[in-house]
């Protein structure tokens, strides 16, 4: 659909400090990455993060499909893991149309966009995970998210093209009102919401100690139990201070394993 007015162009990254990151996990086709970048630029989004693109990066097909959104592609960052791609973020949404065997808050894009706007107003950083075209996000990726983002469509045919999904989320972000953030918990100025890097550090600390004590000894059940544990802490909305406290608790409890001295 034509209608671009260059005189009113919003520069890519003009609101990069507030706008959510778009994280494409295992994208398959360069064309889909390019079209997703175009959708981002349509909505003033600029932070594109790519996790293991199948056809490599940079990709000429992505540039051709971006149709002028080169500025988004040029700043795209490449990551080996989803954890690395989100470690600086404090709130993450997993875009998926499939039901999951997890207890997660599920939001439509409009509500998620309002939340991200309100969170950005406090200085928080958010991001949205999008999975590969054929299968979508894995359960392990969804477990890293604070909430699931689902577009309310025809339940008999709800799967979206990758670029379409990015456009829907970007559109709602662009038009979300940020003047009156919904009421919520306030934290002291000395603390802040924990980043995903801090949370993943907590997860790995706890899981390592549970491996050591034998709690996760059943190999077949371990992935499911780990996802359940991660979901519990994701729902808690921990601050950086709370993460440090929990890690101190884990260290104190496991220190007793050495047995009495003297």
Q: Distance from CA of residue 120 to its chain's centroid?
A: 14
Q: Which tens digits make up the pLDDT trace of 83-131?
A: 999 999 999 999 998 767 788 899 999 999 999 999 998 899 999 999 9
Q: Are residues 36 and 86 in the same domain?
A: yes
Residue 189 forms part of a structural domain = no
Residue 180 forms part of a structural domain = no
Strand pairing of 48-51 and 105-107? unpaired
Residue 251's domain spans which residues? 196-256
Q: Are residues 51 and 132 in the same domain?
A: yes
Two tokens, residue 257: 């394993």
Q: Are residues 153 and 103 in the same domain?
A: yes
State the Cα–Cα distance between residues 91 and 196, nearest whole angstrom: 8
Residue 7 forms part of a structural domain = no
In terms of pTM, does the model score above 0.85? Answer: no
Instruction: Tell me how many domains the chain contains.
Output: 2
Give the per-residue pLDDT at 58: 92
SS3 string, 25-63, reads: ECCCCHHHHHHHHHHHHHCCCCCEEEECCCCCCCCHHHH
Residue 9 forms part of a structural domain = no
Residue 242 forms part of a structural domain = yes
- Per the CB < 8 A criterion, the answer to whether 216 and 210 are in contact is yes
CATH of the domain at 34: 3.40.1280.10
What 8-state DSSP symbol labels residue 256?
A: G
């Amino acid at each position: 659909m034509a209608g671009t007015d260059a005189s009113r162009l919003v520069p890519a990254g003009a609101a990069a400090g507030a706008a959510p990151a778009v994280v494409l996990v295992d994208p398959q086709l360069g064309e889909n990455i390019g079209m997703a970048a175009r959708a981002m630029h349509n909505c003033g989004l600029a932070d594109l993060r790519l996790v293991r693109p199948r056809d490599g990066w940079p990709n000429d097909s992505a540039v051709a499909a971006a149709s002028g959104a080169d500025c988004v592609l040029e700043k795209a960052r490449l990551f080996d893991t989803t954890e690395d791609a989100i470690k600086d973020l404090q709130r993450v949404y997993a875009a998926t149309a499939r039901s999951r065997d997890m207890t997660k808050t599920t939001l439509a894009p409009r509500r998620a966009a309002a939340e991200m706007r309100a969170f950005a107003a406090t200085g928080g950083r958010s991001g949205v995970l999008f999975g590969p075209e054929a299968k979508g996000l894995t359960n392990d990726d969804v477990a890293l998210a604070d909430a699931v983002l689902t577009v309310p469509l025809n339940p008999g045919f709800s799967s979206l093209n990758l670029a379409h999904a990015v456009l829907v989320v970007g559109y709602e972000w662009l038009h979300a009102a940020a003047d009156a953030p919904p009421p919520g918990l306030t934290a002291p100025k000395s603390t802040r919401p924990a980043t995903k890097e801090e949370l993943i550090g907590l997860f790995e600390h706890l899981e390592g100690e549970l491996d050591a004590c034998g709690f996760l000894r059943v190999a077949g059940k371990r992935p499911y139990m780990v996802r359940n544990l991660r979901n519990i802490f994701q729902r808690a909305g921990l601050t950086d201070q709370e993460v440090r406290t929990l890690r101190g608790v884990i260290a104190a409890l496991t220190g007793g394993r050495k047995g009495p001295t003297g």
